[in-house]
Structure 1
Amino acid sequence: MNDSMAIVADRWMLESRQLVNWGSYNGYHEFRPSTDALAPVTLLAGASESGKSTLVDAQISLLYPTGTPYNKASNSGKSERNDYTYLRGMAGINDSAEGERPVYLRGRGDDGTPHNIWGAIVDTYVNHSDGGLLSCAKFLYLTTGDGKDGLRRRYATWNRKIDPRAMDRYRDVPFTANMLREMYPECETYPNAETFHAAIWHIMGLSAEACRLLHKIQSTDAPARLEDIFKQGVLDVPEAIAIARNTVDDYERYHENFHIMEEKIKRVGKLRAIQNLYGEYSAKRNELGEYRRADPETEAGEAAITAWAISRMAGEIRAGIPAAERAIEDARLRIGQADLRIQGLDAQIDAVRERLEGLDNGNLLRLKNDLQRARRDREETRVRRQRLAARFERTSGKLPTDETSWDDMRAALAETARSYDKRRAELDSAYEELVARRAAFGEERERLRRDYERARRQKSRVTDAMADARDLIARATGLDAAELPYVAELMDVKENEERWRTAMNVAYAPIAQTILVDRRHEAGFAAKVSAIDPTHMIRRTWRFVDTRQTHDAKSEEGWLSSKLRYREDSPFASWLKTQTASQRYDAACVDAIDDADERRQVQADGQIKSGAHGFHGTKGMTPVIGFINETYLAQLRERVSRKEREYADVDQRCGQAKRDLELLHDERALADAVADMPWREIDVFAAEKLVDELKTQIDRIEGDPELKTLRERLDELARQRDEAGRTRYHAQADLDGAQKAERLETQWLASHDDGTFDESTIPETVSNRLAGAYEDACGIIGDRKERPKHLAGISDAEGKTPFAQRVVRKLENVMGGQITRLSEQTGEKRTATEQAMQSYLEDHAADDGIVTASVNDYQYFLRELSDLDMLVTRKTTDEEYANSVEKLYMSLQQLNRSIRSDEENIGEQLDRINDMLKDQKFGPREGRLALTVEFGKPQRDFAQAFGAILTKLDDWTQEDRDDATATRKAF
């Protein structure tokens, strides 16, 4: 027995329909139809727009399969009706300057502030067979700013009456299944409409087909003809049609659901980006707030920095006082020891000197002093001579070797200096002329190189300027450069007529640089070209040509046009042949012009005579007409090589001219240097001789053994005396410094350190930054032990900023710079965050006039993210895509089988009917009745498309079932 059948059928009757915010039913309403056992009929009557269809559409939304259209009787079925417009209470359409805008009853308060909307449809049914009760509920929720895609639906059934008004307590957040179970204990909740319908249809003995048939009856779409009634009621509609409709309905439902899910995923991505940006902005803002407590631009911040610095300095100075006291005692002890040592050494030195003076009368000391001076003079003379020798080698050759040649050289250099200005002017003029020629040759060389590369690459003789102008026109008009040829690119002299190339370039020069344009592009061409800045393009001429028109061109033998060949694959070739053979441009080719001949004539060298006018000369004319061949390229290469040789020659001459100028400058400088320099200042040999003579005299005196011993003893005692003196000096300096440091440190602490600063008032991050800046500022004091006395002012100079104050200023500068950077970074983060917010609002909350793209409204976006994050995940979406494709694949396979089996089933049904009719007699003549049916084959286009879809889904099932991208493509 079928599970949906029973011995005694259930008899479910609608007892109550409760509506909350559904269409024109604003707030809560309850409809109670008749449940009378004998006459359970309720008539809905009323004027147009009184809510009849709205009440019926609630049943369609709640009970019928997803995708069932709303009541067609409503306004002739023209109004847009769906769950979203019913929940918002769409009242009509208004025309405004921005176009048609819907008018809604709900979604904004009296002051225009948008708010969340919720609604509900609850049907309560009573089973008159066993007294059972069934409530079917559909709750709708729309968050502020959401459109149709953001509508949330929740489904529930309960064996008691559901009062939807109880859910109003949750109006500020989207409804969840847990909320429904909490409010209606032991109720059943459903994740989607499909599972909800399956449950209630099973309970009430309904099916999707029954609901659709009922919908047809309600919507005046029921079968009317006897044939249709027979097909649907006796033979039954072919199963394939029902499966096809269900499959299409399933696909549309899946597609709509996926579209909504994808949109929500995109919204979640945007909201997460806003969340991350706001997090970065908030962190920077908080960090900036901490640094504001040490802002040198404010009185409190400046005081905080100063107090922090004084506290840190006071700690170092306080620790430095005991060290200064120990340094004082140590210096005093070293001074006493040094004084005793010096007294003993002085006595010994005096005794040795008395003995020495008795032996050499003091000559040795004098000679040694002279030797020291002579050695210094010798070194200075050697260095001076070496420098002059190098300068002479660069200018006049070798340095003179005696005083006479030296004086002659000085006189010659002085004479050279007197003509310096004249020679400098001549060399400058020659050098500037050569530089100008080199620049001109360089430009010409580069132009020739470009011409060669362009000709080799583009197979064209046109210049760079011509090609650039054409490219500008091509970009402006959207055409390809190949569609805009120059006349010069479409023609050339025949290979055996090369001697007439110059004549061709002269005769056809007026049209050679004309751009040809197909007349089909004429419309709008001028307007597009007007967009080009005229200062960026040389003046060009173009001509529109009807390429579809055939031109009859004939060249007369002996005329210039007969010596030409053309690019025959060009659509402009026919027109060009006509032009080149025209009276305006063509000319008779002659070896010498005949003045008596009135025809237009041209010589091979380009001279033209046309009537009373004559023309000659090609200077400055660029020959651009012709095709590219190896001979032409070889000519271009030769021109490039020739210009490179000319450039190299003038470059070499420029270098020589520059060296001549430098030599002249060196000669002048040398003349100035030796003008007042006597020979003795560079006579190294005389200086060497004097040193040798002094050394000889000293060696003779020091040869006395006794004198030598005494001198060595005196030197040793003097060394010891100097060492003791240095020791005493350093000790005294240490004492003075230590005493001064101790005095300054004590005074500094007395005037600055009051011990009231609490370092905890400065945030740890700011304190660490101050500490780093403090170490940097004090880093100029290499030894950390020396810091206290410098902080106390031992190195401060009058009129200069004290060191301690410079440290404080350094801290203020660092804090000011850090705050400026943080302010800029905070502003950038805020701008980025608000731009993301603005983009989100434009896309998803354009009608929301209250929420702004401001960090002050961040909580709105956070609530949006929280609401949406619970609804969608990428993994779930991928799984749903795979499940949906698999279900559709199964449905299509079932459809494929049904197409083949439906004909057999209908045939068997007709056979059974005909068996029943064959023994029956009809009418007064007792006639016989038999039924037949004709089956049409599926349309060919349908069969091919259907087969292709099945093949693709077969491949997907076998190979791409786990590939998310392939699954979405298959869907």
Structure 2
Amino acid sequence: MTITDQPLIPNPAVSDGTSQWRAETLQMVNWGGFHGWHEVRYSSGSTLISGASGTGKSTMLDAYIALMMPSDTAFNGASNDAGGRARSAEQRNLLTYLRGKTDTSRVDGSDELRDQVLRGLDGAPTWGALGVTFVNDNGRRYTVARLYFVKAGATVNRDINTTFVTLDGYLNLSRLEPLAKTRFDKRTLRATFSNLAVFDTFWQFEDSMHTRLGIGGSNGGRKAMRLLARVQAGMQVKRVDGLYKSMVLEVPGTYQAADNALEHFADIEASYLKMLDEADKVKALRRLPDLQKEFAEAQAEALLIRQFGADLDGASPFQLWRLRTERTLLDTAVGENRRVHAETTTKFKQAEAREAQYSTRLELIAEEKRANGGSAIDDRLQQIKTLENSRNGIYEANLKFQHRTEAIHLVMPEKVEQFTEAQTAAAEFLAGFEGREAALKDEEEAVNRDELYPLTTRQAELLNEKKSLKGRTGMVPHRLHGARLRMAEAAGLDPMNDLPFVAELIDVLPDEEHWRKASRPPWAASHGSS
């Protein structure tokens, strides 16, 4: 019998409220860097675990979390936040712990990454186990454990078989190694350990463990363990109400009812889709009996034909029958062809006779038409056709003439005399074109010489004056400025600093501003002096 089948022995830790359960030992088999069986014993009072980074502190804490808490509980958040090899958040999971992942390396010549592990090399199967033995104030011991079997080629956590067990007393996990090859079969476990309780689901395992340890039955113990996991993870609690909402207050029953309704709807939908799939299969296979019958009949017919020797080469009764049948069919076809040919020949001769009769009749009708003036009508129709063609040609020529004379604004001639006058004017224009063109060119050259050239020269002077004024601050004309620059160059002086114009040195005093206009003519006359 298992512990679930036996009445519990009276437990003072649960009854009187004064006795407590404490962790006595932690056993790890093939967990992270702990290769093989390892046991950590705790003091009955308190135990402080310390050590440098990488010595296994977080590995031990994660072992406790993996054993005591649901599988969706995150591992130690403080260690996962830390950098370093094999210690990132995406690498710390149940599978990497069981295989003992130590690092990740890149395969030579490719971008493929490969885990460096202590166990399960190249995807080989492996196993592991976690167990904690508790002892109460009365010295009674109680062991809870999880047994893991990693399948060959496992890549995700669902490829791991997990077995949940409890035992009244101390359970040495090193004795489980021979049972790993059975993937921890329940019957084998019960046969090896007489008072071992094996559970089918984590929730059964959790409820039994929480009740026995006095953590709280049903949902109460689960809330307490979730709160403990959050505290151990070192996660910040920002608000007290948030802590109560997520860890203390119960989820309304309507939430579970809604989840159940959704699951039920999903089941119904899955059943409906399965029914549709089965209906499609039935529809696709409905003709299978008929097809099978046709196939059997075809096979029987083929067998019958083969029995007559249809597939044999050379002379055979079937070949004789086939040739005689073919000869009969050919004779029948030839007779039918001759009959159709005779009928077609008769119809052709009759058609020729009718054609000759109709031709004679047509000639008589034409003769009667000509005798009654029908030729005059034909002549008039021919004349009409000729005039229509002439009209089309004249219309196209008229359009071309209008297009070519549009530039000279010629009035369209409506009479022969007007067209003749236009021709005469065109001839006169062409005769005097060269002389008129030469006269216009002479006139253009005279205008350029008398009017355009002086303006061009003045424009060039003004542009030079503008260019000169842009490069200096004075307002002296360009001609005088050039003379000043040449004198400065001959004397070796700086024209901007050492040789100013007299006009640039004289200015009207502020109080005599009204004399500025009257003083400009004398200054203008003196611009040539310096």
TM-score bucket (shorter structure): 0.3 to 0.5
TM-score (norm 1): 0.24
Q: Which has the higher contact order (CA 8 A, sep 6+)?
A: 1
TM-score (norm 2): 0.42
Q: Which one has a bigger Cα radius of gyration?
A: 2
